[in-house]
């Protein structure tokens, strides 16, 4: 009996390690304590719950340290404020746990011997702090304990009259709607193939951005030191490694249609990045190798292999349409490599997806950054009550072509079906089925035509 009681913990320990497992359990217990607050605070229909209200009110009121130097309270995160609010900080934790099964045909199984089977992954275990000094300076510090080599958002920003907001540090380059929508709020478990292949991700640099015309338009532009976003280093999008060049990146978005506080909108955008790679005293090697829309494997079904372009131009038009519970979104990516010895290869890709909320919610849009944000269920899930949270269906097709010039990295197309259950604004379960097809890859391992089926799920909570 004793062994049966500890078996679940041992199973988790084998998957994630003892230290990480203990941390997960600690976060889960804290979540259990704080979750009634989130349930009560985020749904008007439950504000009169006699059990939850005292907890919610106590959390919002918080505590004040002796001599009234600091006020500490909880509201969508832990807030710490100085007496006159000269310094304010908000601390959040994020937990994502993935699990699932990958099946493959004979050709893919032979090319990638470890691809098939049941797998589990601690996708994210993040701690982040967003802070404000007076009304002119803000900063963000973020670390992901599940990916200790990844460098997340670590920047300081300044508000400048007329120009807007200037940030310096490690941050996402202003490129792609799917990339700039936080992974906490994306519709599917992972971003689509072309985003994983081409988007620069985070790099160290300086960026200016602002919204104009009552936030109906946004613009952003910056210069970045490319520390691995498209380098040969594994999952290098967020890793500080040897530089492979410099990027100048800009994005502009507009809202021709915006009604009913965002329940009806049309978003249009265009991103461009020029990447200097040759003759700059750094390693110019580039490798495009997207994951097959899952982190349950490190295998890449398509890959260009490493090559040395003199420069790269990235072009990315984007579109999104929201009509109440229905949402449509798509992007096109063109990657132009200036490498005469390789035939100046051009790679490209696109994705299209639709989603629909069975419970009537709508995807939330953040006007000041031109990207989507957190979904708030109309009624939170609560045992013994009528609320069942928000339920969302999604279907996506994505494609990437890494065959051109003297490079034969292959073509991959994925069809993904998704189901999301939002228990409240901070907690959700995600279920994805991905059907991946690969062909025409000559870069080792060579693949004439192969297929894989991925069934995966995620538990996600932020507090």
Whether the Cβ atoms of residue 414 and residue 193 lie closer than 8 Å to each other:
yes
Residue-by-residue DSSP string for 341-368: GGT--EEEEEEEEEEEETTS----EETT
Residue 11 lies in a domain: no
Q: What is the pLDDT of residue 172?
A: 96
What is the Cα–Cα distance from 373 to 263, expressed in whole angstroms? Answer: 13
What residues are paired with 294 via a beta bridge? none
* Across 135-155, average pLDDT: 89
Contact present, 52 and 36 (Cβ < 8 Å)? yes
pLDDT at 252: 98
In a domain, 374, yes or no: yes
User: What digits encode the pLDDT tens for the residues 173-191?
Assistant: 999 999 999 999 999 999 9
36-52: average pLDDT = 43
Task: Classify residue 7: in a domain, yes or no.
Answer: no
Q: How many domains does the chain have?
A: 1
Residues 43 and 387 sit within 8 Å (Cβ to Cβ)? yes
> Residue 54: pLDDT band by 50, 70, 90 thresholds?
low
Cβ pair 153, 170 in contact under 8 A? yes
Quote the pLDDT of residue 33.
45
Q: Looking at the predicted structure, is the pLDDT value of residue 379 above 90? A: yes
DSSP 8-state symbol, 38: H
The structure's pTM equals: 0.86
CATH code (residue 198): 2.40.160.10
Residue 55 has pLDDT above 90, yes or no: no
**Residue 110 within any structural domain of the chain:** yes
The shares of helix, strand and coil residues in the chain, as percent rounded to the nearest 5, are 15, 50, 35
The answer as to whether 255 is a domain residue is: yes
Q: Are 346 and 335 in contact (CB under 8 A)?
A: yes
**Does pLDDT of 362 surpass 50?**
yes
Which residues are CB-neighbours of 104 under 8 A, at least 6 positions away?
Answer: 112, 115, 116, 450, 451, 452, 453
**Mean pLDDT within 335-363:** 97
Assigned domain for 67 exists: no
User: Residue 75, Cβ neighbours under 10 Å: how many?
Assistant: 14
For residue 150, the enclosing domain spans 83-462
The CA-CA-CA angle for residues 366, 133, 61, to 5°, reads 75
Q: Can you tell me the distance from the alpha carbon of 320 to that of 177, in angstroms, rounded to the nearest whole number?
A: 9
* Confidence band for 84, pLDDT divided at 50, 70 and 90: confident
pLDDT of residue 161: 86
Which residues contact residue 163 at a Cβ distance below 8 angstroms, ignoring those fewer than 6 apart?
A: 208, 210
Kindly state whether residue 2 falls inside one of the protein's structural domains.
Answer: no
Half-sphere exposure of 130 (CA within 13 A, CB side): 7
- Does some domain include residue 344? yes
Question: In this structure, is the dihedral angle defined by the CA atoms of residues 226, 232, 235 and 240, taken in order, positive or negative?
Answer: negative
C-alpha 151: how far from chain center: 14
Q: How far is CA 270 from CA 1, 7, 187, 210, 229, in A?
A: 61, 52, 21, 15, 20
User: pLDDT value at position 283?
Assistant: 62
- Quick one: 341 exposed, middle or buried, by C-beta within 10 A (0-12, 13-18, 19+)? exposed
pLDDT at residue 226 greater than cutoff 90 = no
């Amino acid at each position: 009996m004793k062994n049966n009681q500890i078996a679940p913990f041992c199973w988790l320990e084998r998957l994630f390690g003892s230290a990480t497992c203990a941390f997960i359990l600690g976060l889960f217990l804290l979540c259990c304590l704080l979750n009634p607050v989130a349930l009560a605070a985020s749904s008007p229909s439950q504000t009169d719950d006699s059990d939850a209200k005292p907890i919610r009110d106590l959390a919002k009121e918080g505590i004040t340290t002796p001599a009234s130097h600091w006020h500490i309270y909880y509201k969508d995160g832990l807030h710490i404020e100085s007496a006159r609010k000269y310094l304010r900080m908000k601390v959040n934790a994020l937990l994502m746990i993935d699990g699932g099964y990958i099946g493959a045909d004979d050709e893919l199984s032979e090319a990638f011997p470890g691809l098939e089977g049941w797998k589990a992954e601690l996708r994210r275990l993040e701690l982040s702090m967003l802070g404000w000094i007076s009304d002119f300076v803000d900063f963000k510090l973020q670390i992901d304990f599940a990916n200790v080599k990844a460098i997340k958002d670590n920047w300081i920003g300044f508000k400048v009259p007329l120009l807007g907001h200037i940030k310096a540090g490690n941050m996402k380059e202003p490129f792609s709607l799917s990339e700039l929508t936080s992974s906490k709020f994306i519709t599917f478990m992972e971003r689509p193939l072309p985003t994983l292949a081409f988007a620069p991700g985070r790099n160290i640099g300086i960026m200016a951005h602002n919204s104009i015309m009552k936030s109906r338009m946004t613009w952003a532009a910056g210069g970045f030191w490319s520390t691995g976003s498209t380098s040969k280093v594994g999952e290098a999008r967020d890793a500080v490694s040897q530089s492979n060049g410099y990027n100048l990146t800009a994005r502009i978005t507009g809202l021709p249609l915006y009604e009913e506080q965002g329940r009806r909108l049309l978003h249009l955008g265009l991103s461009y990045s020029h990447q200097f790679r040759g003759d700059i005293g750094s390693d110019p090697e580039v490798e495009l190798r997207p994951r097959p829309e899952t982190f349950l494997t490190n295998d890449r079904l398509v890959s260009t292999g490493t090559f040395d372009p003199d420069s790269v131009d990235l072009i990315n038009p984007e579109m999104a349409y929201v009509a109440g519970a229905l949402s449509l979104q798509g992007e096109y990516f063109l990657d132009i490599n200036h490498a005469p010895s390789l035939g100046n290869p051009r790679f490209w890709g696109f994705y299209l997806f639709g989603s629909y909320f069975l419970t009537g919610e709508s995807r939330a849009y953040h006007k000041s950054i031109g990207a989507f944000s957190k979904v708030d269920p109309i009624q939170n899930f609560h045992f013994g009550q009528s609320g069942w949270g928000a339920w969302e269906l999604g279907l996506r097709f994505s494609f990437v072509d890494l065959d051109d010039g003297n490079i034969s990295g292959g073509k991959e197309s994925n069809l993904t079906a998704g189901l999301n259950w939002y228990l409240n604004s901070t907690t959700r379960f995600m279920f994805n089925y991905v059907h991946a097809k690969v062909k025409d890859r000559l870069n080792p391992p060579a693949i004439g035509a192969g297929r894989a089926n991925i069934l995966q799920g995620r538990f996600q909570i932020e507090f």
